[in-house]
Amino acid sequence: MSIDKSQWVKIADELQSLFCLIQFKYQDTVISINRGRVSESKTHLFVYIDSKLNIAGGDEQSEHYNPLTPLFWCSCSKPLYSKSRIADAEKMLGKRHVKKHMPYMYKKHTFLTPVFPNSTTLIRQYKKIEGLSLLESDSTAGGLHE
């Protein structure tokens, strides 16, 4: 059974709380979302696939790769070189020379991570997944059902 709009609103409220645990079911896999501390004052949402947080599951070259990670994990991209380093190279060598002979300086590295910085990005991504259903848990028993 798919998740309707009222359930998505309740899920968003639950994910924004300090202590949250939301479980989804996709095919035969249980996806758990839990809020965890990253630092003393920061928390993020962590995605567990079948109660496991396997970092190697997001790397396609790894033997532990899980094909469900592109669906449920956050896609992040970071530049290979910082803006200040690119600016220094452009200042020393000229912008045209850097773009022609060093195009790798402008490339970005894209990777998957099981950590979402906030609930809006997670909900936006999960709404697009067909066949996702909500599992009932103790914290969501007041209105969220499978």
For range 11-39, the mean pLDDT: 92
The pLDDT value recorded for residue 109 is 93
Give Cα separations from 39 to 36, 44, 82, 133 (angstroms).
9, 10, 24, 31
Task: Locate 53 and state its tokens.
Answer: 């947080």
Strand segments (E) across 50-107 = 74-79
Percent of the chain with pLDDT over 70: 92
Q: Kindly report the CA angle at 68 between 65 and 72, in degrees rounded to 5?
A: 120
Q: Where are the domains of the chain?
A: 1-72+113-136, 74-111
Question: Is the model's pLDDT at 110 over the cut of 70?
Answer: yes
Return the closest-CA partner of residue 58 out of 47, 69, 44, 42: 69
Give residue for tokens 């709009």: 5
Tens-digit pLDDT profile for residues 48-71: 999 888 888 888 888 888 888 999
| Cβ partners under 8 Å of residue 127, min gap 6 | 3, 8
CA–centroid distance for 59 within its chain: 14
